[in-house]
Amino acid sequence: MMVSKNKIKRCISTLLIVSLQVSYINAQIGIGVPNPTNPVEIKTNAGNIVVDPSGRMGVLVANPKVAMDLRGGTNGSVAIGNTTKTAAEAGAGTLRYVASPAIGVKGYLEFSDGSSWVSFFPKGKPRIIVMASKITQDTYVFESAVPSEIGTKSGVVQRRSSYLTNWAEKLDSDSGVPTANFNPATGEFIAPRDGVYFATFTFALQSSQVNTGANNQTEAIWEVRNSAGTITQRVKTNNGYASDTGGSPNAVPVGSACTVSVYLNKGDKLRPFIWITVAFDGTVSQFDTSGSGAYNSLTIVEQ
């Protein structure tokens, strides 16, 4: 009786060992692969897809080096789509493709940093583009011999330095991705990175008489300030006019334009302003806002 019990114990032990061995063999899954050497191997016409003992996946890569290795063959690419999840919901490190055609691009990639979606620059050099027009009479006198004159105005005060304010923004983008580098309320552009920027603006006043006097002129000026607010450059275009156009109806259109190519450090501020003297001191002239501000425009492009 004792012998029979010992035989039964040995049989049970043998069965357990065989079962464990069979379980281990079955843990290696081979689809189209008779003798897989990895936990998972799938045969395809192009090559094998494997999951190695470390959990790394190789697509046509026998020995994957990272979590997912696609560097086998000649078509090792990956495709991703968009998601409506917030960056926080998707989690840091998530990628998405945004099919949003814009200036210079047809779509772009973004990644989540855990709180917001951050855009990758499309192929080629990143480029800032700002476009705006002016259809209001709003200005801001910031330089005057009379302190009480400093402030917002409607129109252009003669012989006073005036910022052009309240622009109608048409575009403010970085490689097609909308940004907020330009403030249309103030007309100020802040460089998001070091680089050379091409900037131009034009303005036109309503036709009027140019009064008798010397040095009748209009000045269109670009001003550069550093991040601390210190003026570092002022570049201007000066247009002169005849001393006297005569009495009515001898009114003439008056205006100017200034185009510059300037190097800006990150955080530098670029802003247009004007100074005119074609009427009596303190007289207020009005912008020609016909054609939806076609005569008063601003463009900034990163070179």
Provide the 8-state DSSP code for 120. P
What is the C-alpha separation between 261 and 302, in angstroms, rounded? 9
Question: How crowded is residue 257: how many other Cβ atoms within 10 Å of its Cβ?
Answer: 15
* Closest residue by Cα to residue 138 from 125, 122, 120, 157: 157
Quick: pLDDT tens for 82-126. 999 999 999 999 999 988 766 556 778 889 999 998 887 765 667
Residue 145 has pLDDT above 60, yes or no: yes
Is 279 strand, coil or helix? coil
Only one residue has tokens 């006043």, namely 205
Quick check: 271 and 163 in contact, CB under 8 A? Answer: yes
Percent of the chain with pLDDT over 70: 84
The set of residues, in sequence order, having a beta carbon less than 8 Å from that of 131 and lying 6+ positions away, is: 169, 170, 171, 297, 298, 299
pLDDT band at 21 (very low <50, low <70, confident <90, very high): very low
Indicate yes or no: pTM above 0.75.
no
Cross-strand bridge partners of residue 181: none
The gap between the terminal CA atoms of the chain, to the nearest Å, is 97
* Closest residue by Cα to residue 227 from 198, 192, 178: 192
Identify residue 105 by its one-letter amino acid code: V
What is the C-alpha separation between 167 and 63, in angstroms, rounded? 59
